[in-house]
Amino acid sequence: MSFVLGIDIGGTNVRLGLISKAYVLSDFTQLKMTSVFKSACPIDDLSNMIIDYLKTHAVDKHIVAISLGFPSTIDKDAKVVLSTPNIPTLQNIPVVAGLTQKFNLLIFISRDVNFLMLFDIYEQGLNTEGVLLGFYFGTGIGNAIFIDGKPLKGKNGITAELGHIPMIGDQTPCACGNVGCLENHASGRYLMNLAQTEFKEKDISDFFTLHVKNSKVMSFIENVAIAVALEVSILDPEYIILGGGILQMRDFPKNLLEARIKDRTRKPLPSKTLEFIYASVGQENGVIGAGLYAWEQLLKLKG
């Protein structure tokens, strides 16, 4: 049996697993991002991680490709990781060329959020005609735009950077190098800072249970709604997928968020016809999405 090695690189964790041609996941494992990227050479870091994983989980298995999702901007040809605000060493890295040389396998890369959304489309059995939007609120803001089943790439490959839309009048520095980015006010980094500075909490697992009615928490939810409504009003999607670790926290007020998105979206349409779908909870989703993408690409190469 043949397998794809799927790798989901997030701002906090790196997840790996083997995906069969029937899209069945096995040998799933999770590592801390900081334990993987610990040198000045990310290609070596990735190679060492992959070698260790294959030695442990795939000695007698036939690996046909490696598929990696990055929390990054990727060039239009899907060869180079251009910029990664939350991982300083992942800037202008020719990942495909570097890993191909190391492993002599087909290497596929994309934005991690595209893999997450590909998994959600597959799992939910969604019709891919028209515009589908995915919003994943985790460490940062993950955003994907699919048109007729394909992720929108744009001229340079730099699309759906919703978290880096500038907010009028805001000069807060952002990890991307700009100032005033929306991600500074509607992401997990902001929420963690709010929990530690305003509520003196290191564990935010019960944050919404305890503080959902606080004015600053309500303001955070409003900013999340604004992020979604901004893109929805521009693209008028068939479906809106909502996910990420923040929205999956205990007692996150989903009904309130939906109401605020509708309030902030253009009236009467598309506000009146918005359809929300929530991503399933699963650390393995991005890994399976990476496998889905790779098997699709392999099929195209054969065809």
Residues 125 and 267 reside in one and the same domain: yes
Distance of alpha carbon 132 from alpha carbon 235, whole angstroms: 9
122-154 tens-digit pLDDT = 999 999 999 999 999 988 899 999 999 999 988
**pLDDT per residue over 110-123, tens digit each?**
999 999 999 999 99
Q: What is the pLDDT of residue 216?
A: 94
pLDDT tens digit string along 70-92?
A: 999 999 999 999 998 878 899 99
Residues 40 and 104 in one domain: yes
126 with 221, same domain: the answer is yes
Domain ranges, residue 40: 2-111+283-302
65 touches 4 (CB < 8 A): yes
Residues 37 and 81 in one domain: yes
| CATH code of 191's domain | 3.30.420.40
DSSP state of 93: B
141 and 272, same domain (yes or no)? yes
DSSP codes of every residue in 158-207: ----GGGPBPTT---B-TTS-BSBGGGTSSHHHHHHHHHHHS--S--TTH
Predicted local distance difference test score (pLDDT) of residue 139: 83
Q: pLDDT at position 303, please? A: 65
Is the same domain home to 133 and 186? yes
Q: Is the pLDDT of residue 201 over 80?
A: no
pLDDT at 157: 85
pTM confidence score: 0.92
| Whether 157 and 296 share a structural domain | no
Q: Are residues 78 and 123 in the same domain?
A: no
- The number of folded domains in the chain is 2
